[in-house]
A and B are shown apart, each in its own frame.
Chain A
Amino acid sequence: MRLRQFLGNVLVVKEISSIFMLTVTMLIFYILSPYFLSYFNLRTLLELFPELGIVVLGVTVLMISGEFDLSVGSVFALCPILIVKMLSAGVNLGIATTLALIVSLGIGALNALMVVKTGIPSFIITLATMMCWRGVVLAVTEGTPPSIPEEFSWLESHLTFWLGPIRISFIYFLIILIALWIILERTRLGNWMFATGGNPEAARARGISPAKVKLISFMITSLLAGFAGLVQTSRIGSALPSAGQGWELDAIAASVIGGTSLFGGAGSIIGAAIGAFLLRIIGNGLVIAGAPGYYFRMFVGIIIILAVIFDITLKKRASKARW
């Protein structure tokens, strides 16, 4: 009986299915090639991880609030390019960075306003803004990466320097993860985010403004996408006009693998981080195991379906064990 209760408590942990998938996947890749868990490979895994990881954290907050943002990939590319262009025009680095991040916030606010005011699903609105901002990026750069001015090196050294086996960006990722976990799980705003995503009518009946909650969520998501773009540009020393393409769906996939509901109101920021890491591992593990990289999307697809099935069956088991 106590074992049953213990199992019930473990199974009800929101992140359980993503933890399980992560363990199994890592084990499989380790069996296929022990090199997978070597120091150097783990270092490589973590080096690239924060960029998609930070985008996923923002997207998850928004999905919990019941909305999508497909424009994150475009903002990811736009933010660093704005800085580079401003630097070339003689603007001071601090001002340029601040302005670019404010623009990212503004893009999120614009998405939110259009969704809230028109009632058009965010999937459609942000599909449109995704194309618009990508268009701006391509127009501004004429399709080729702009040369990076000298002043940018300050950002490079502060966003991505090596700290032992990891880059500092991984620490930033962890800080953002913890901050968002506290907001979602331990503050009133977080409770309102879940309520807004789960049942906006009920939230409104309790005096909460779902529109405000969504506005904040959209702004967080967009800001984090812009910041993640800065991290990548700092790491590779180039602002690619194609950066972040397709990441909007990868981010949603990572969230769903981590147990976030597509219908809003339920999800876990830690699960999403695990989901993002799982995507990274699949990409890396396939290469290590000698499989052509083309299989990446196929595996991600399979993982998504397995994750959702696990999630549903585990939840059923858990509620049975507890009652």
Chain B
Amino acid sequence: MKKQPLVEMRNIHKWYGRIHALKGVDFKVNEGEVVGLVGDNGAGKSTLIKILCGVHLPDKGEIFFKGNKVRFASPKDAIRLGIEAIHQSTGLVDTLDIKRNIFLGREPVKKIGPVRWLNLKRMAEDSIKALKKIGLEINSPSTKVEELSGGQRQGVAIARAIYFKTNLLLLDEPTNNLSVKETEKVLEYVHELRRQGTSSVFITHNLYHVYPIADRIVILKLGEKIGEFKKEETSVEELIELIKS
């Protein structure tokens, strides 16, 4: 018997005014899998992801989570099922420090009666643990995110996903504008993410980034899925030819 996918999207359509951005796309992610979602600008990658994390509603099509039909009216609905997206601009709050970012919206509190205040000590200790888990060394969890490099920021966002046992993490162009060394680091974090049991979708237009870590690669072009491969079945060269064609 085939294992049930973690998330399955069937026949997804999306129009932006007269533009048909997604033309009946099927997309699934299995448990513990890294899926590379590849395509040029305008292929519909971001639209698909925004639907999957609850930012947009599809005009047509269905989404299943562990076999049950779901409807994501807002990011909150997706978060409740452990589906989260990190985007370079919306992932972290620059002006807050690392621990406050990791626990944003889910801050642990101490309480006496109705009075609640932040458990800063636990936030700091658990942040250090979470960062260590993915091999990210940072001097202090009280460092502001704006002082971090692009790769470190992705690391903090990924550490957060692991800490909260996210089921599916959607990484929107996590290696954009990063140096070669930093890109390698981010790929390591994604690797660790899988080892911890979190599935992920790695969205990029750079095949060389996603190929080494993906289990499966899905290619979109002008709103349609034009290919889906297990990594063993294909090579980077073959995929590039397909995108160009």
Residues of chain A at the chain B interface (Cβ within 8 Å) = 182, 186-188, 191-192, 194-195, 197-199, 201-208, 261, 265-266, 319, 322-323
Find the residue from A204, A206, A265 having the highest chain B CB count within 10 A: A206
Q: How many residues of B contact A (CB 8 A)?
A: 27
Q: At the interface, yes or no: B240 with Cβ under 8 Å from chain A? A: no
Report Cα–Cα, A322/B139, bound state, in Å. Answer: 9
Q: At the interface, yes or no: B124 with Cβ under 8 Å from chain A? A: no
| A191-B100 in contact given A186-B118, A206-B105, A207-B76 (Cβ < 8 Å) | yes
| A199-B117 in contact given A191-B100, A191-B104, A323-B139 (Cβ < 8 Å) | no
Report Cα–Cα, A80/B87, bound state, in Å. Answer: 49
Total A-B pairs in contact (CB under 8 Å)? 74
Q: At the interface, yes or no: B85 with Cβ under 8 Å from chain A? A: yes
Besides the known contacts A192-B104, A202-B91, A207-B75, 5 further A-B residue pairs in the complex with CB atoms under 8 A apart: A186-B118, A188-B118, A195-B96, A203-B104, A205-B91
| A319-B93 in contact given A182-B117, A195-B104 (Cβ < 8 Å) | no
A-B contact pairs, 24 of them (CB 8 A): A186-B118, A187-B116, A188-B107, A191-B96, A191-B118, A192-B104, A194-B95, A194-B100, A195-B96, A195-B100, A198-B94, A202-B91, A202-B93, A203-B93, A203-B104, A205-B85, A205-B90, A206-B105, A206-B106, A208-B104, A261-B95, A265-B94, A319-B147, A323-B139
Minimal beta-carbon separation of B146 from chain A (angstroms): 9
| A265-B105 in contact given A187-B118, A191-B100, A319-B147 (Cβ < 8 Å) | no
Chain B residues with CB under 8 Å of A322's CB are 139
Minimal beta-carbon separation of A212 from chain B (angstroms): 13
| A202-B90 in contact given A191-B107, A208-B104, A319-B147 (Cβ < 8 Å) | yes
Chain B residues with CB under 8 Å of A319's CB are 147
Report Cα–Cα, A195/B105, bound state, in Å. Answer: 10
Q: Are A202 and B92 neighbours in the complex by a CB distance under 8 Å?
A: yes
For B76-118 the 0/1 string (1 means CB < 8 A from A) is 1001000011010111111110001001111101000000111
Q: Are B95 and A266 neighbours in the complex by a CB distance under 8 Å?
A: yes
Chain A residues with CB under 8 Å of B92's CB are 199, 202
Q: Are A208 and B95 neighbours in the complex by a CB distance under 8 Å?
A: no
B77 nearest in chain A by CB position: A207
